[in-house]
Every structure is written in C-alpha cells, then in structure tokens.
Amino acid sequence: MKRKSCHGEECSVEQQIENKEFKQVLIELLYQLADDDFILAYRGSEWLGLAPHIEEDIAYASINQATMGHAVMYYELLESLGEGTADELAHSRKAESRKNAILLEMANGTGTYLNQPKYDWAFTVVRHYFYDIYKKLKLESLKQSSFEPLAHAATKMKMEQYYHIMHWKVWFNQLCLSSGEGKTRMRAAIQKVWNEFSGVLSYGPNGKLMFDNGLIDAEQTFKKQWETEMKKVFEEISMPYPGEPKSKKGNGREGFHTEDLQDALATLSEVYTFDPQATW
C-alpha cells in the first residue's frame, strides 16, 4: 500500500485534503467506519440489563462504550473535514445517508427494549465476534493509511480491540462446542450472519479509489486476509467453513437499508431531536 499520495511525494494533511478525489473517498471511508461502529454499539447497548448474567452485563457495557468511543473518533475526523458536528453526524442523518453494513443494523431479536425483548444471544455473539475479527484486520490496514490522523486513530483503537476479540472468542467457542440447544442456535446464528457478511466486507462504489489513494488495502487483498482468519475460527470449533458470505438484504455502503435501521434511528435520536441545542 502506498504511504505517499501527492504525486509520489510526502505531503501534509492539508495538501492531501486539497485533492478533491482524495478528500471525497476519505470521507466515504470514514462514514463507513463510523456508522458501522455506531450502530453496532447501539445494538449492543440494547442488551443493557438483559445480558445472560451480571458479569456479562458489565463486560458488554464496557465493550459498547469503547465501540461508541471509536465511532466518535471517526465522526470527529469527519467534523474536522467540514462534514458537520460529530453529534449531528451521529444523530441527525437519515437512514439513506448511512453507510453501515446491513448486518450491523439488524435487530437483536423480536420485541423492543421496553416491550418483550426476546433477543437472540447466539446471534449477538456471532455477529460481534465475526465483526470484531473483521475490525481488527481493518484497523491493521488503516494503521498504514496515507491519511495520518486516521492511521493514528487506528493504532489506538486496535489496542482496545484486542480485549473485545478475546471476550467474544470465549463465548463463541464455548457455545459452539456445547451440545444441544446451544450448538443448534449457534449454527443458525452463523448462517444468519453469513447471509449478510459480504456487506460488511464491501468497500462500496468507490472501493478502488480508496486503495488508489493509499487509504486502505485493496478490497480483494483484505477479503483474502479475512478468509484466512475466519477459516482458523471454524477449524477451532470443528465446523466446516461455510463458503462465500452473501449480502441477501443489499449493500448498506450504497445506502440501502432495512426498517430495522429506521426504527433504531428513531429510538436513538429521540432525545436529541427533542432538543438538539441541549448540552450533555
């Protein structure tokens, strides 16, 4: 991957963002990264008080707080590029302008937080574990990014990501290696996550330009790394690798989303829209 991006010369952050194409694809990439972490942290926070036991409640709250902190970092980078304040970017954007993968917006299960939350812990464990493995690799790639502020942010985030993966790995392996209901539900959850994971791996319509500008590894290179890592995951639980992941519900990077996102945005921005001027 190229570190330099001003016609082969080292150049400053200011010079980089004077380049229209560079700035545009950088912004698109940042939206994908920010929106992914933001919506998954929101889904995670919907488990507060409902997690399987109290230690898990504490752990998961901590993970969501960190993931939300990562989303804030990306939104702040967008703020520095003139996209609006981080708060606006997180709360006020309509579903169509969000760039998160559809897998991450999917509801935790049936019911709502306040009314019969029949959430699926197996789905939560699988979605989080697979996403966190993906995110670790993405951060490794971003550490080499041509946009230095992003490279620095990625370096910091990756240190925290280490603990998230460690946590989900324990849940994932123990449930998959269990017998009876645990195993059956994990298999179903793996299938459900696999049906949409291709959307997470997508760089969207400008993926090639992201690579050309040295922002991140090429989409295909990245996908191969991810596959290698995932094959190890399936080997550990002695399950066959499920083959190519799909994106049955569409590509969130292109602005396609489901009702689940609309509902989530309506709930999470309720207080903000009530009084956008409020200070926290």
Residues found near other proteins in the complex (CB under 8 A): 55, 58-63, 65-70, 72-73, 148-149, 152-153, 155-160, 162-163, 166-167
Q: Which is nearer to other proteins, 127 or 167 (CB)?
A: 167
Tell me the closest approach of the beta carbon of residue 24 to other proteins, in angstroms.
24
What is residue 58's three-state secondary structure? helix
- Pairing outcome for strands 109-110 and 118-119: antiparallel
Q: Which is nearer to other proteins, 169 or 187 (CB)?
A: 169
Rg, the chain, Cα only = 19
Tell me the closest approach of the beta carbon of residue 10 to other proteins, in angstroms.
16
Nearest to 255 by CA among 28, 106, 96: 96
Tell me the closest approach of the beta carbon of residue 31 to other proteins, in angstroms.
18
Nearest to 104 by CA among 198, 37, 158: 37
Tell me the closest approach of the beta carbon of residue 53 to other proteins, in angstroms.
10
Q: Which is nearer to other proteins, 90 or 95 (CB)?
A: 90
Q: Which is nearer to other proteins, 73 or 125 (CB)?
A: 73
The Cα 277–Cα 258 span in angstroms is 29
Amino acid at the residue 267: T
Q: Which is nearer to other proteins, 43 or 167 (CB)?
A: 167
Tell me the closest approach of the beta carbon of residue 187 to other proteins, in angstroms.
26
If phi > 0 it is left, if psi is from -120 to 50 it is alpha, else beta; for residue 133 that is alpha
Residues whose CB falls within 8 Å of the CB of residue 197, separated by 6 or more in sequence, listed in order: 103, 130, 245, 246, 247
